[in-house]
Amino acid sequence: MTFSVWRKHLCFSILIPAVLLVGLGWLGIARYGVIAGLSHGLLHRQIAWSLLGVIAMLAATLPNYRVFARWSYGLFALALLLLVAVYFFPQINRARRWIRVGPIGLQPSEFAKVAYVMALACWLMYRENQRRLHGLLVPLLLTLVPVLLILREPDLGTALVFLPVFFAVVFTAGARWRDLLILAMLGALTVPLMWSQMSGEQRSRVRAWFHQTTPEQTPNDDTRHLHQAKQMLALGGVWGSWIGGQTVEDPAAYRLPEARSDFIFCVLGERYGWPGIAATLGLFGFLVWRGLVIAARTREPYGRLLVAGVMALFAVEVLINTGMTVGVLPITGLSLPLVSYGGSGLMAHLVMLGLVMNVAMRPGYEMGKEPFRFVEKR
């Protein structure tokens, strides 16, 4: 594909909202720096990662995406090795999630999401046994291995997103509702086991969800994090402090742990009010909708499953992150894709969108048996 042809077919309906969301992240990180009294170092690093990420996203559109299908299992194996390698590096904030070499840090769980979606799509693209319950065992095994490794870091938020993605992709590939319901019921039976394996901090977050405080109440150690998150959103009011100009003299009102990453949504709500919240959710909604349209138009199996998996991942992450900030879901420590501070997450999600753009540029068609549920009558 020549440059002129590539530019003509570039999927701007994915590129533009992605860049706008990254820009919203810059605004949120800049506001966090002001609240925390920090320099612009965090913002400058995020801008540098953003530029590298956009370059990687565009680079992912250059080769035919079918080439990536041949690399899927190898990349997945490499991701698992990196998930094991984190246990040989020192803890940071009581967790082993990063591989650090000098000033460079890598969070393998973020890139494991990309490799997992690619491997799952590759396994399911030409098979029909996923239409039976026993045919879901191998895809489920592909899912549980990274989930268990990530849970041991511990990183509950990231581990939670794999299972909804699994259900979305196997359903797209033709799995029956009855079989998926059976798997969901079996998974519910393992909740007591998961609870026993959760750390004390993770359990406290779940308990805080059941015992949320009102604005007049004084939070305890378990409920303080969620209380501060909701208070930060409330400080913005309707139009936010940027337009309304309303601020609180007490600096403790703005003290929110992980505000630059897991709770960047609260920072945007405080600064830009409902317009900022609506813009953020609207861009994510448009992005997921366009991805689903691309998946529906793609006739090649690997491409369709790949896009469906990426869009399911984005949708789940946005729902969990925004839900936990307002108390609808327990706090799990999951960042907001493209918006939260962090180089690994930003790079991984931009590369995933690059793969979606790649599929959109080459919807293709392959002769042979159609493995999906909906087949056009010929």
What pLDDT, in 10s, does the model give residues 189-235?
877 777 776 767 777 777 777 777 676 666 666 677 788 888 888 88
Any idea which of 19-33, 87-101, 199-213 has the lowest mean pLDDT? 199-213
Any idea which of 85-94, 207-216, 253-262, 266-275 has the lowest mean pLDDT? 207-216
Q: Do the Cβ atoms of 309 and 168 come closer than 8 Å?
A: yes
pLDDT exceeds cutoff 90 at 320: yes
The per-residue pLDDT for range 47-77, each reduced to its tens digit, is 999 999 999 999 999 998 989 999 999 999 9
Any idea which of 162-171, 182-191, 206-215, 266-275 has the lowest mean pLDDT? 206-215
pLDDT exceeds cutoff 70 at 370: no
**How many angstroms separate the CA atoms of 45 and 347, rounded?**
13
Which pLDDT value is given to residue 84? 94
Q: Which two tokens stand for residue 369?
A: 């048996």
Which pLDDT value is given to residue 369? 45
**Mean pLDDT value of segment 6-30:** 92
Which pLDDT value is given to residue 239? 87
Q: Where are the domains of the chain?
A: 30-36+71-337
Any idea which of 199-203, 299-303, 373-377 has the lowest mean pLDDT? 373-377
CA distances from 82 to 75, 109, 275 (A): 11, 8, 40
Q: Is the dihedral of CA 323, 351, 23, 304 positive or negative?
A: negative
**How many angstroms separate the CA atoms of 373 and 147, rounded?**
28
> Which of 104-113, 124-133, 227-236 ranks highest by mean pLDDT?
104-113
**Mean pLDDT value of segment 163-183:** 90
**Mean pLDDT value of segment 10-36:** 93
Question: Number of C-alpha atoms within 13 angstroms, CB side, residue 173?
Answer: 31
Which pLDDT value is given to residue 233? 86
pLDDT exceeds cutoff 80 at 374: no
- Give SS3 for 106: strand
pLDDT exceeds cutoff 80 at 33: yes
**Mean pLDDT value of segment 363-375:** 49
Any idea which of 85-89, 301-305, 372-376 has the lowest mean pLDDT? 372-376
pLDDT exceeds cutoff 60 at 247: yes
pLDDT exceeds cutoff 70 at 375: no
**Mean pLDDT value of segment 238-245:** 80
Identify the burial level of 312 via C-beta atoms within 10 angstroms of its C-beta, where 0-12 means exposed, 13-18 middle and 19 or more buried. Answer: buried
